[in-house]
Structure 1
Amino acid sequence: MEPNAKKDQPIAAILLARAHDPDEATRIFTEKVQQRPLFLAPSSPPPSDARAARRRAQEKKRQQRKKALKPKPLSASQRRRLGLYRVPRERQRYALFEPLHQLWLGYVREVLGHEVYSGGEGAAAKLASADFHGAGVEVVRSGCVSRVGIRGIVVKDSKFAFEIVTRDNKLKLVPKEGTVFRFEVPVSDLKPTEGEKPAEEATSKMVFEIHGEQFQFRSADRASRKFRSHFSKKL
């Protein structure tokens, strides 16, 4: 009977009986094995949170689907390889950009406001954050003498250079460093009072000169920069 009784015992009880006294083995087996609590992790949220859990799961799936459908932005090298910002040779015509220049004149008059008549530090601060796509500029000073006199419409305002289409339908790349650009803004002779709109008919011109070194930022980055007047060694 004893061999059969041992066969009916669990393996844990047989091993404990070899290492401890019968009473001690029985106590350990009862407390540590038979009466050991078994903790189960909940497989589903409580009924009160089930609706919120379903909403979170649906929102997560929606975000994953939206992320999968959203195209990845092109890198700078891919944009250059595709030529997205390159002006084709057949499009390098001055007459094609004249409407853009007229739009820019209205834009710069709106940006300058009353400083278009007085100039000064107020106008400089506004011009420092302005966009020059469509501006009619002329190179008046440059470290390279051959660039002096280049005049046309800015078709690309990059970080370190202006791309200008001249009247003879040629595209010129003019670096900003060491170059002074001049542009003219037609204005009315009668200065409007505070709160009054300027006259639509322009009878004179205000001439501004900008130093390219102060504009060595992308046009999108200049919009958030603050103008700080400081001494320039090249003036």
Structure 2
Amino acid sequence: MDTKSRKDQPIAAALLSRAHEPDEANRIFTEKIQQRPLFLTPSSPPPADARAARRRAQEKKKQQRKKALKPKPLSATQRRRLGLYDVPRAGQKHALFEPLHRLWLGYVREILGSEVYTGGEGAAAKLASADFHGAGVEVVRSGCVSRVGIKGIVVKDSKFAFEIVTIKDRVKLVPKEGTVFRFEVPVPDLRKGVVEGQAGEGEEKMCNLVFEIHGEQFQFRSADRASRKFRSHFSKKL
């Protein structure tokens, strides 16, 4: 009877019974052979839109390659470390920024409009929200006496300071806090120009619009000031 049962059992079970105990041989045969999953490839025909599916897969791969090749933008710390915000020594010349100053004069006349003559709170709010890159500036009051009298063109309008290139081709960093800056904008003089005949034919007499701003009251980036509403404040420090 025992011999007949051995003949009827599979050859794998017979070989396992020679190498292991009966219980261990039965366990290995059941888990590794009888219950082993059998993976079959589908024999059904491909779907009708197989070409479109392959095309979508290829486009997806192309997009993934583009993302992998596209470099990530530099962070603010990396830009500062590389010196992208610094003005090179060869570029610290007042004459190089004079065209930028002329562009700024046209820009500030445009944003002021008719208020360039009337002034008032409306003009002050527009000036406080303006961008001062290229503005001609002079320090008239400061908590540090050595900064008074610095005059030049603003080459960098940051959140807390102005970088100014002077006539002597030097870049000065002037903090906004505790400092009053003076700006001059030449505008046509409608009262004394052509009316009294003081200007020649084809010429137009100009006058300077002078305004002063307290740096500590607009310690914001130029991009943030464009959408910010300003109100008049009293400065206790000055």
Q: What is the TM-score when the length of structure 2 is the normalising length?
A: 0.69
2:146 counterpart residue number:
146
1:158 counterpart residue number:
158
2:228 counterpart residue number:
226
1:22 counterpart residue number:
none
Q: Distance in 2 between matches of 1:171 and 1:210?
A: 21
Deviations 1:16-75 (A, max 9, x none): xxxxxxxxxxxxxxxxxxxxxxxx99899x846656644543443233222122222222
Compared CA separation, residues 220 and 226, structure 1 to 2 (3 A): closer
The DSSP-based 3-state class of the residue aligned with 2:63 is helix
Q: Distance in 1 between matches of 2:119 and 2:53?
A: 62
Q: Distance in 1 between matches of 2:122 and 2:43?
A: 67
Q: Distance in 2 between matches of 1:110 and 1:208?
A: 16
Q: Distance in 2 between matches of 1:202 and 1:107?
A: 20
2:115 counterpart residue number:
115
2:184 counterpart residue number:
184
1:97 and 2:97 aligned: yes
The sequence identity of aligned pairs, in percent, is: 78
Q: Report deviation, 1:187.
A: 0.8
> Partner letter of residue 62 of structure 1?
K
For the aligned residue pairs, the C-alpha RMSD in angstroms reads 3.4
The DSSP-based 3-state class of the residue aligned with 1:228 is coil
Q: Distance in 1 between matches of 2:213 and 2:52?
A: 59
Tell me, which stretches of 5 or more residues in structure 2 are unaligned? 14-39, 192-202
Give the conservation status (yes or no) of the 8 Å contact 1:186–1:202. no
Q: Report deviation, 1:207.
A: 1.0
2:19 counterpart residue number:
none
Give the conservation status (yes or no) of the 8 Å contact 2:143–2:179. yes
Give the conservation status (yes or no) of the 8 Å contact 1:183–1:209. yes
Tell me, which stretches of 5 or more residues in structure 1 are unaligned? 12-39, 192-199
Q: Report deviation, 1:213.
A: 1.6
Q: Distance in 1 between matches of 2:50 and 2:205?
A: 70
Q: What is the TM-score when the length of structure 1 is the normalising length?
A: 0.70
Q: Report deviation, 1:79.
A: 1.9
Give the conservation status (yes or no) of the 8 Å contact 2:128–2:230. no
1:28 counterpart residue number:
none
Give the conservation status (yes or no) of the 8 Å contact 2:115–2:123. yes
Deviations 1:127-155 (A, max 9, x none): 23321111000111111111111111111
For residues 19-58 of structure 1, the aligned pairs below 5 Å read 47=47, 50=50, 53-54=53-54, 56-58=56-58
Aligned residues: 201
Q: Distance in 2 between matches of 1:41 and 1:124?
A: 77
2:33 counterpart residue number:
none
> Partner letter of residue 207 of structure 1?
V
The DSSP-based 3-state class of the residue aligned with 2:173 is strand
Q: Report deviation, 1:89.
A: 2.5
Q: Which moved more, 1:136-145 or 1:91-100?
A: 91-100
1:212 counterpart residue number:
215
> Partner letter of residue 73 of structure 2?
P
The DSSP-based 3-state class of the residue aligned with 1:74 is coil
Compared CA separation, residues 51 and 92, structure 1 to 2 (3 A): same
